[in-house]
Amino acid sequence: MQEERLSEFELDARLARDTELVASLGLCQLRMMKDSRWPWFMLVPQRNGVSEVFELTPLDQAILTFETNTVAAALKKATGAEKTNVAAIGNIVRQLHVHIVARSEGDPNWPGPIWGFGQAESYDDAARQILIDRLTENLAS
Amino acid sequence: MQEERLSEFELDARLARDTELVASLGLCQLRMMKDSRWPWFMLVPQRNGVSEVFELTPLDQAILTFETNTVAAALKKATGAEKTNVAAIGNIVRQLHVHIVARSEGDPNWPGPIWGFGQAESYDDAARQILIDRLTENLAS
């Protein structure tokens, strides 16, 4: 039943375009933004028709919290960032997604927010792979 | 032991200046931003020396999730907003605090973020009290 629901999950078209899949966790897809300005990841619960965290079941809310905090801790460790920014905004893309971003002094728009700031800059392949590898190593440990 | 820790909680000076206390929940202070541009609240876990959600104990993380989602659902109902924005950023104020904001089409900077946008505008007393009453009614129900 659960597997059936997961297999039917439909990712929002804009999320599909702007991010790439890194790993599939218990509840969420862990995806990376195609924007090299900040180490910027996203958790997308594999549930259709949900736009607010409080619309998830209580169990899913607990799992999302666990996955969010696990990824945020790993990302901070992987990057040596000063602060993580964690946010569920969704004013534009309504499919529930949680941003997890590593911020450091002097990065673009620091200490302001990353959302709505400037234009995405693409990764070069090596830098992209190094970041993914570092994050997944820290997720596994 | 727990009570002792709570009584010693020290609120960051900038949070104390920019927000006012609405209610004390199990873990968090529920506070309202002194900014009438958006219905903008904040949960501040009464724990000293914590700046990331993942630094809380697992139990505190679960309680924070519960309190955050309870307040967000009540705020959406109280305001009829289109979307809530929930975020732990903390690039400037390092004491852990979670923003919970009701957003509606056409509000200032919609659909962009509220953080780092323009200047705070003060409430008139009546509007402020109506919002607090509506939120607390919906929290209680």
Note the pLDDT tens digit of each residue in A15-51: 999 999 999 999 999 999 999 999 999 999 999 999 9
Measure the CA–CA gap between B44 and A78, rounded to whole angstroms: 27
CATH architecture of B2-110+120-135: 2-Layer Sandwich (3.30)
Measure the CA–CA gap between A48 and A68, rounded to whole angstroms: 19
How many A-B residue pairs are in contact by the CB < 8 A criterion?
97
| ipTM summary value | 0.94
Cβ-nearest to B112 among A52, A103, A115: A115
Topology of the domain comprising A2-109+119-132? HIT family, subunit A (3.30.428)
Quick check: A6 pLDDT over 80?
Answer: no
Buried b (16+ CB within 10 A) or exposed e, A86-112: bbbbbbebebbbbbbbbbeeebebbbb
Delimit the domains of chain B by residue range: 2-110+120-135
Residue of A85, A91, A94, A98 best to disrupt the B interface, most CBs of B under 10 A: A91
Listed by number, the residues of chain B in 36-95 with a beta carbon closer than 8 Å to a beta carbon of chain A are 51-54, 61-62, 64-66, 68-70, 72-73, 76, 82-92, 94
The mean per-residue pLDDT over the stretch B40-47 comes to 98
Average pLDDT over chain A reads 95
Measure the CA–CA gap between B19 and A126, rounded to whole angstroms: 45
Phi, psi of A40 (to 5 degrees): -135, 110
Confidence bin at B134 (pLDDT 50/70/90): very high
Buried b (16+ CB within 10 A) or exposed e, B27-46: bbbbbbbebebbbbbbbbbb
A118 to chain B, minimum CA–CA distance in Å? 12
